[in-house]
Every structure is written in structure tokens, then in C-alpha cells.
Amino acid sequence: MMPSVAEYDAVIVGSGVNSLACGALLARGGWRVCVLERNDWLGGAIKTEELTEPGFLHDAFSAWHPLWVGGAAHAELGTELAARGLEYLNTELPTATAFPDGGAAFLLRTAEGNAEELGPEWPGVLDRFFPNAELAFGVLGTELWSSAGLALGAKAVRRLGRGGAAVFLGEVLQSSRDWLETTFAGERAHGVLAPWVLHTGLGPDQATSGFMTQVIAVAVQEGGMPVPRGGGAKLAEALARLIRDHGGVCETDRDVERVIVRSGRAVGVRLTDGETIEAERAVIANVTPTQLHERLLADADVPEPVREGARRFRYGRAEMQVHYALSEPVRWVGDERLGGTAIVHVTPGLDGVSRAVNEAERGLLPAEATIVAGQPLTLDPSRAPDGRGLLWIQLQELPWRIKGDAAGEIDPGDGQWTDDLRERYADRVQARLARHMPNLESSILKRVALGPHDLQRANVNLRHGDPYGGALGLDQNFLWRPFGRSPGHTTPIERLWQIGASTWPGPGLGGGSGTLVARKLLEPPLTQRAITRVRGLASR
């Protein structure tokens, strides 16, 4: 039975990776932590289950963990998580693109290999990126709306000069198309790198997508495409175990209805069953602005401009997942390395990605969506019975409200997603995949598709089937995420913090926002920091 008295220092609403990372860091720091999850599993968009056939372990939503393994939370918690059963597996073939003509190109784990795959321009990309890598990755790991953000800007000016800092900022704002076309002569390089902007919630013609393309390309070369042995849920399980080992609790089927606010300060939460749980030091909500302001703070005194900003918050493109249990591994046409690659994008290239994004944003079902074909068995054979095959398919260029079909083949009906419409679109995708995998359709044991409506039903934060916590146009990104009237992780309510994909540094399984907030909360009080500094100066 959960207590209804002030037994916790922090109550965390939701159990996604940011919640669990935040909770683990706070619990290690001596805080009494309570994580509350409305669903019957911990992990949010991390869920491993036998979705198709017995013995086939599918990551139902998110699946790949390069951002986590390369992030600050893993750097701090990795050893303790490994002691609790978390083991990461990696590969020398992290990603590739399969083109309609049967050709393929790869992004590999070595600079030399990538120069051969992407062209002679690649070493120059690295020569320009690495001297300022600290700044590039610092942008993604810093609370921008803070003194730390100002310090990062000052560091850029000191290192690069005012002119150089202005150039760096301009390059951050560049689109992927502009960066790719001015950097690489070969279209194969464009086709390998352009699809990765979709994994950041952007399209290749949007501001900042060029910066994200560079960051991801370098991160994949340096870090590969790691996954936990046994499925992504092993990360959530290890984090929850760490929290519990430090005296905290993580509970499922606990739906938070309201944040309790007294005198402008968050002091706890009320659940849908009427129970209240109080927090002495912080309430941390891993939710979208819609959930925060329309539900959790429905009765609170929030400034009207902030309410209006939350009402105007935009969600991005919808996505769809398709999972296959197969009687045998798929055989790819063309380069035999495709069969051993973790993630293969199937697309005509940069223009194909751009066209599909444009069609989706105009409300059309793309005629030729970018297919993300994940092959977890290339890293972790334990996820399926011996000799079998398993595919994880993601489609990131879909509209939530459907106005038509770019191919003119599917009647969208009243424009809402239905199970029938989902299956018809999955059939289109499967037919395209079969041209690259001749044995796909003959080896299918079971197919399970999850449309945008299924995703929204499964997780309240996947609003409109958007897996990235809201559109990432420049006015909802970087300094302005989640939106201009409420940037950063603080809220108009004292001691109430917002984390998750809707907040900086945005989507992805890095745990970034949870880590930023945990570190802020674990800072000593200002007076204690001043005393420590004075003592340090006196001892010199």
C-alpha cells in the first residue's frame, strides 16, 4: 500500500528513460524517490514483449541505445547497472541504406571505412567536427536556459572568437540538405546520412537538421548501435532495481491525475483512485505540455500566457511500427553485408526522404516512405529461436489526420487511423521490402503492426502517434523547448519540473533531461557552495 504522507523527497510522474535516470541519480544521492507509472510496465516507450510468437522478443516501440550508451547518465551509472544484469552488445555494421537499384552504402565504425563508403570528403568532416566536438555535444548536454548555457556560449566565444562563434551558430542552424549537398559530391553519402534526421524528429530540409546529421554520423562511427542483451526492457529493469536498492519505489498501474499545489508550490500528487502522495522537495513530471497543463495542472494557478503556449504546442509527424516473426532470416538483394547490419534504411535517398516528409506534412500517406528495417538478431541472437528471423520496422513519415494518399491507391475514409487502414499501409511497405528481401513474404510466421492510433492508446505521451514529444521546429527546439513561454525544465509552479522528450535535449533514449534535472536538484544550496568556495580559496 502506497503511503499518503510525506514519505518521499521526490515523486516522479511516468517511468520513461528520463524518469528512471533521474530517479536513479537522485536515489544514489540520498533522496527518497517514488516513480509512478500509469501503464503496467516500467520504461515508457521501452517495452520488450513476445508480440508475435512465443520465443520472439520484440522491442515494441524504441529499440536502439546509442544515445544512452554515449550519454552522461550511462557514464555515471553504467557500472552499477551492469552489476544489476544490464549487458550491452554492439556491432561493426551499425547502419546502411539499401537503394531501389539494388545498391547499398554503409556507415561503419572506422574513419577509413567511412571514407571508402561515403567518399573522400569524410576525413575533412571529422577534421572540422572533432576540434569543436566538446561544444557540439555540450549543446546537447547542457541546460541551455541557465548559467551553464551562458557559460557554454562564453566558452565558444573564447575558443572560436566572436566571428568563429557566429559561424558555429550558423552551422548549427543549417539544414541537412544544405550540409550534405555542400559537403559530399556523391548521392550515396546523402542517402546514408539523410534518413538519420528522421530519428531526431526533423526532416532534411528543416533548420538544425544539418547539425544533427553530423552529430549522429560521428556518434554512430564512434559508438556503433548498442542494444541490451535480451531486449531494451533490460535497461528499464536495471534502473528500477538501482532505485529500489537505494530505498526508492517504482510502481506500475498508478495513474496520476493532479499535481497538488499549495501556495504556488508543488507538494505532491493525487492519483485517479483518490490517493495522495506528498513530495517534500520536488515533483518531476515526464509528460507532454498537453498532459502537464490540461490535466496535471488543470486546477492550478498558471499564468495565462503559459496556458496559451501549452494549448498552441504542436505535435510532429506520426509513426508506425511493424514487427515480424520469420521462419528464417531475411536474404537481402545485393551487398551481403546488409544481412548483418543492425539498421538498414530503405529509401531512394535524400530526395526520397524529403519527398516523404513533405507528403506526410501535407496530410498524405507517403507513396514511398523511408523504411527503417531493424535487425536485432544481428547483435542479439537470443531474441528469437535458433534459425528464425525477426524484423523491427519503423515508419516515421506519416500524418495524424489523413487527407489522401500520395500514391492514389488507398482510400483514407474519414481521415482517421483505423486498424484496416493500418494494415493496408503495412501491405504497401511489405511489398517494397519484398523487392529487397526475396524470401520475406514466404517466411512470415506472424506480422503485428502498430499504427499511430495504437501508439497513442499505448502511451499517453505518444500524442497523435508522435514518438518525439512534439514538433521540433526552431520555435519548439533548443532554447525554446518545449515552447517560448515555458522554456527549459522549470515550470511556473515552484518545485515542479518537467522532463521527457518534450523538453531539451529533446527525443531519444539518452536520459538527457532527467539527468539535467537530477544534477540541478542534487546541487548543494547556494550558501553551502559559497562556503565551500571560500574554504577552497583559503586553503591555497
- Whether 76 is in a domain gets the answer no
- Whether 27 is in a domain gets the answer yes
Q: What's the confidence (pLDDT) of residue 527?
A: 52
Do 379 and 477 reside in the same domain of the chain?
Answer: no
Do 371 and 454 reside in the same domain of the chain?
Answer: yes
Do 306 and 420 reside in the same domain of the chain?
Answer: no
Contact assessment for residue 371 and residue 346, using Cβ atoms and an 8 Å cutoff: yes
Do 327 and 435 reside in the same domain of the chain?
Answer: yes
| Domains of the chain: total | 3
Do 167 and 206 reside in the same domain of the chain?
Answer: yes
- Whether 538 is in a domain gets the answer no
Interatomic CA distance for residues 273 and 63, integer angstroms: 33
Q: What's the confidence (pLDDT) of residue 3?
A: 42
The single residue listed with the C-alpha cell 535487425 is 375
Residue where a domain stops, chosen among 435, 458, 481: 458
Buried-exposed string 322-360: b where 16+ CB fall within 10 A, e elsewhere: bbbbbeebbebeeeeebbbbbbbbbbbbbebbbbbbebb
- Whether 106 is in a domain gets the answer no
Interatomic CA distance for residues 283 and 267, integer angstroms: 7
Interatomic CA distance for residues 324 and 449, integer angstroms: 9
Residues constituting the chain: 540
End-to-end CA separation in angstroms for the chain? 53
Of the candidates 41, 144, 90, the residue with the CA atom closest to the CA atom of residue 506 = 144
Count Cα neighbours of 259 within 13 Å in the Cβ-side half-sphere.
38
Cβ neighbours, 10 Å, residue 4: 14
CATH at 521: 3.50.50.60
Q: What's the confidence (pLDDT) of residue 166?
A: 92
The helix (run of H) or strand (run of E) holding residue 241 is helix 233-245
Do 238 and 173 reside in the same domain of the chain?
Answer: no
The single residue listed with the C-alpha cell 523547448 is 481
Residue where a domain stops, chosen among 183, 199, 223: 223
- Whether 416 is in a domain gets the answer yes
Q: What is the DSSP letter of 292?
A: I
Do 440 and 472 reside in the same domain of the chain?
Answer: no
Of the candidates 71, 353, 374, 365, the residue with the CA atom closest to the CA atom of residue 239 = 71
Do 305 and 328 reside in the same domain of the chain?
Answer: no
Do 447 and 355 reside in the same domain of the chain?
Answer: yes
| Exposed / middle / buried, residue 316 (Cβ in 10 Å: 0-12, 13-18, 19+) | buried
Do 485 and 454 reside in the same domain of the chain?
Answer: no
Which residues form the domain of 268? 8-48+58-63+232-313+468-526
Report how far apart, in Å, the C-alpha atoms of 301 and of each of 11, 461, 481, 487 are: 20, 23, 22, 18
- Whether 537 is in a domain gets the answer no
pLDDT per position in the chain (540 positions), as tens? 444 445 899 999 999 999 999 999 999 999 999 999 999 999 999 999 999 999 999 999 999 999 999 999 999 999 999 999 999 999 999 999 999 999 999 999 999 999 999 999 999 999 999 999 999 889 999 999 889 999 999 999 999 999 999 999 999 999 999 999 999 999 999 999 999 999 999 999 999 999 999 999 999 999 999 999 999 999 999 999 999 999 999 999 999 999 999 999 999 999 999 999 999 999 999 999 999 999 999 999 999 999 999 999 999 999 999 999 999 999 999 999 999 999 999 999 999 999 999 999 999 999 999 999 999 999 999 999 999 999 999 999 999 999 999 999 999 999 999 999 999 999 999 999 999 999 999 999 999 999 999 999 999 999 999 999 999 999 999 999 999 999 999 999 999 999 999 999 999 999 999 999 999 999 987 555 444 454 454 555
Interatomic CA distance for residues 448 and 427, integer angstroms: 12
Q: What's the confidence (pLDDT) of residue 530?
A: 45
- Whether 450 is in a domain gets the answer yes
Kindly compute the dihedral angle of the four CA atoms of residues 415, 420, 423, 424, in this order, to the nearest 10 degrees. Answer: -60
Do 287 and 371 reside in the same domain of the chain?
Answer: no
Of the candidates 390, 359, 351, 357, the residue with the CA atom closest to the CA atom of residue 373 = 390
Of the candidates 103, 124, 105, the residue with the CA atom closest to the CA atom of residue 113 = 105
Residue where a domain stops, chosen among 170, 189, 223: 223
- Whether 42 is in a domain gets the answer yes
> Nearest 5°: CA angle at 221, between 220 and 223?
60
Report how far apart, in Å, the C-alpha atoms of 266 and of each of 37, 201, 213, 317, 538 are: 19, 31, 39, 33, 39
> Nearest 5°: CA angle at 65, between 61 and 70?
150
Do 473 and 377 reside in the same domain of the chain?
Answer: no
